[in-house]
Amino acid sequence: MNIYKNSIFILFAHPALQKSRVNKQLIRYVRDIEGVTFHDLYEEYPDFHIHVAREQQLLVKHDIIVFHHPLFWFSVPALLKEWMDLVLEHMWAYGKKGMALKGKKLLSVISTGGRESLYQEKGYNRHTMGEFLYPIAQTARVCGMDYLPPFVVHGTHTITKEEISRHGEDYRKIVTGLRDGTIDLELARTLTKLNSDTDHILTEQEE
């Protein structure tokens, strides 16, 4: 039985975790939190043969779904895209009778090689992270889900170990806050990313 306000499902997708600097550390801060199910897609399905019914059962059991992945070509890694294509079925996730995910929340947790300054209208990438995330945000909406502002770690090539740890702490606070319902979501929605002022959006600090 879930004793927490919300159960959290972290759908993690990184095809080369052994080479990871950032995400390998970030997941250490959240994977063992009580009330959180950590699901490593590349570990579960190295051959890309996704067990659709199993994934759907896992989704139904949780209140908040987290897509955690590095940004690959301004999008999700291939296995997460395959997962979306197969698991979010018509008449299950969307369509007239597709109500399975209605009312759940979706959060993107993303790392990018590019620095934050590149993700501006006048920057090298010409668009903000929010704009690059429109396909996921709209997927969530079509499934009747509530898409939260993302948690983003930029500049992974130059980020220091201390900065990674700080992001890890923030990630843990946000996941715990979502689990306990102690995040001011109204305030959070005014931010372009959830971790731009983590302590500000928490209505109670974790112990």
Ligand X SMILES: Cc1cc2nc3c(=O)[nH]c(=O)nc-3n(C[C@H](O)[C@H](O)[C@H](O)COP(=O)(O)O)c2cc1C
Using alpha carbons, list the distances in angstroms from residue 128 to 17, 118, 131, 170. Answer: 26, 8, 5, 21
Backbone dihedral region for residue 18 (phi beyond 0: left; psi -120 to 50: alpha; all else: beta): alpha
Contact flag: residue 74 with ligand X (CB under 6 A): yes
- The distance from CA 64 to its chain's CA centroid, rounded to whole angstroms, is 10
Smallest distance, ligand X to C-beta of residue 77, A: 8
* Whole-number Cα distances in Å, 122 to 118, 157, 190: 8, 22, 22
Residue (of 80, 75, 88, 85) closest to 45 by Cα position: 80
What is the spatial distance between Cα 133 and Cα 148, in angstroms, rounded to a whole number? 11
Task: Identify which of residues 111 and 198 has a Cβ nearer to ligand X in the complex.
Answer: 111
* Closest to ligand X by CB, 22 or 178: 22
Which residue lies nearer to ligand X by CB, 68 or 104?
68
Of 22-30, 31-39, 89-97, 196-204, the segment contacting ligand X by CB under 6 A is 22-30
> For residue 5, which of 30, 40, 32, 36 has the smallest C-alpha distance?
36
Report how far residue 194's alpha carbon sits from residue 148's, in angstroms, rounded to the nearest whole number.
8
Residue from 13, 36, 41, 71 in contact with ligand X (CB under 6 A): 71
For 194, other C-beta atoms within 10 Å of its C-beta total 25
Give the interface segment with ligand X, choosing from 69-77, 141-149, 173-181, 186-194 (CB under 6 A). Answer: 69-77
Q: Minimum distance between the CB of residue 158 and ligand X, rounded to whole angstroms?
A: 11
- Looking at beta carbons only, is 22 or 106 nearer to ligand X? 22
Which of 56, 108, 112, 176 binds ligand X (CB under 6 A)? It is 112
In whole angstroms, what is the distance from residue 13 CA to residue 111 CA? 11
Least distance in angstroms from the C-beta of 3 to ligand X: 32
User: Applying CB under 6 A, which part among 42-50, 70-78, 172-180, 195-203 lies near ligand X?
Assistant: 70-78
Any contact of residue 108 with ligand X (CB under 6 A)? no
Asked if 53 interacts with ligand X (CB under 6 A), we say: no
Among 113, 123, 130, 144, binds ligand X (CB under 6 A): 113
Rule CB under 6 A: is residue 102 a binding residue for ligand X? no
Site for ligand X contains 72 (CB under 6 A): yes
Q: Tokens 């900065």 — which residue?
A: 163
